[in-house]
Amino acid sequence: MAQLSRVLHTSVLPHFPQNPLPPSSYNGASPAVPFRHRTRCSISSTPSTTSRASEARPIPWGCEIESLESASALQQWLSESGLPPQKMAIQRVDVGERGLVALKNIRKGEKLLFVPPSLVITADSDWSCPEVGNVMRRNSVPDWPLLATYLISEASLLNSSRWCSYISALPRQPYSLLYWTRSELDTYLVASQIRGRAIERITDVTGTYNDLRVRIFSKYPQLFPEEVFNMNTFVWSFGILFSRLVRLPSMDGKVALVPWADMLNHSSEVETFLDYDKSSQGIVFMTDRSYQPGEQVFISYGKKSNGELLLSYGFVPKEGANPNDSVELSLSLNKSDKCYKEKLEALQKYGLSMPQRFPLQITGWPLEMTAYAYLVVCPPNMSQQFEEMAAAASNKSKSKTGINYPELEEQTLQFLLDCCESSIAKYTKFLEGGGAPDSVPTNAKQANRKLLLKKLATELCTSERRILYRSQYVLRRRLRDMRSGELRALTLFNGFRKLFK
């Protein structure tokens, strides 16, 4: 089953500040690759941030990811609770996973699902233990941490919770880089910028849990016992949210968990998404293609790179299968630059960092990256242009066509080429076996885990290096053309000089 991290219409993943309790807004998002092209990995180790007490207690709820029995129970409960008859059913699809498969002919443009709001989990949902919900709301906990706590609270009540059938059908171990240890991230993702994103996410989740523990849980131990509300269970709940939460545009952007809909897998060949339909008063999606009985029905999670898919869902599409794939290239100022301080101030004025990451795609790179590179190579005698370059690099420039400095073009392209080739070297070192040494597995389970992680990392790094190779080719060609053009101009100039001698 492919989970839905679909906070739609935004590419910004949720960020959790160290002090998450004052009201604030969180948003997240996600995209598309047919499941047959995916490699997934079920990660059983707990994160390095998890306490020993938590490590000793596996999650007692949920199911194995391929369980059809729990899925059937979910479908029956939903039907009894108001879900109308469906044209789809949960079945095992490809590599032992679950998905929604057409039972009847489905037309292009047809609306499916119709999940009523009463069967959707939002920040406004009633808590089976009202006292816990009241404490969380009194402390103005934002939606993401609130929903993470809600899931744990309801799951811990087992059959006493209204959502028992739904929680029983959730994976006991969500696919997520939250379950990779720091050592595994350093070993297998040493070349990819996704490693940094994963560390940030783990740090954010850990910080959010610790903040809730200090500010709320420790003050109400009867309501929030540590054996239930601990780091291990929060990693689980945030793993569920990252992979399944959706944003519903027609409900004022409300984030929600939508049982049944989150059994839909993701394909790059579709663009349809979930939303609330006021006429039918249910959560629906409109198909953008037809389906025959027995065919798996897909939805789009958003336009995400392979790295983002691995980050939230734990799978990597087949190389070349994701048209939205990209790789981040990191650019930095040279600290030995005589104008380093002035350039850094210009970047900071427009909200840019040092280093700054920019996305490369097979089709090219953003104008903002070129503007940043202009600033890096800009000489002291052009200091008056520092701010203009920084503004363009932040997409806050008044010019809609970008900036152009012909006198800096060759140096800028060479700088970008050097950054690109430096990144390629890191990928090649890993892919050719020259990365950090693997730990020696002590049992068959660890050996299997190691193989799966390495396979995922290899597929991700191969796809990201492919994009870097394309950028390298384009940069080399531009430099060659530029330099050969200069050489031709110089030859012509020398020829004219001889004529007038």
| Rama region for 142: left / alpha / beta (φ>0; ψ in -120 to 50; rest) | beta
Token look-up 């020829």 returns 495
SS3 for 22-65 is CCCCCCCCCCCCCHHHCEECCCCCCCCCCCHHHHCCCCCCCECC
Residue 372, marked binder:
no
- For residue 134 the two structure tokens come to 């009241």
Residue 266, marked binder:
yes
- Parallel, antiparallel, or unpaired for β 265-266 and 298-299? parallel
Residue 9, marked binder:
no
- Quote the CA–CA distance of 419 and 356 in Å, as a whole number: 12
Residue 27, marked binder:
no
Nearest of 455, 451, 450, 457 to residue 427 by alpha carbon: 457
| All residues at 6 or more sequence positions from 268 whose CB lies less than 8 Å from its CB, including other chains | 31, 32, 33, 34, 300, 317, 321, 322, 323, 324
Contact 297, 101 (CB under 8 A): yes
Contact 344, 381 (CB under 8 A): no
- Planar angle of CA 106, 107, 108, nearest 5 degrees: 125
- Quote the CA–CA distance of 86 and 102 in Å, as a whole number: 9
For the chain, the distance separating the N- and C-terminal CA atoms, rounded to the nearest angstrom, is 80
- For residue 314 the two structure tokens come to 């734990």
Residue 15, marked binder:
no
Residue 262, marked binder:
yes
- For residue 88 the two structure tokens come to 């789809």
- Quote the CA–CA distance of 376 and 339 in Å, as a whole number: 10
Residue 244, marked binder:
yes
Return the C-alpha torsion angle 325, 298, 114, 14, nearest 10.
-20
Token look-up 């993701």 returns 266
276: β partners: 283
- Quote the CA–CA distance of 335 and 418 in Å, as a whole number: 17
Contact 266, 33 (CB under 8 A): yes
Q: Determine phi and psi for 381, rounding to 5 degrees.
A: -75, 0
Q: Which residues are annotated as a binding site for S-adenosyl-L-methionine?
A: 244, 265-266
Q: Which residues are annotated as a binding site for substrate?
A: 244, 262, 276, 301, 313
Q: Which residues are annotated as a binding site?
A: 244, 262, 265-266, 276, 301, 313
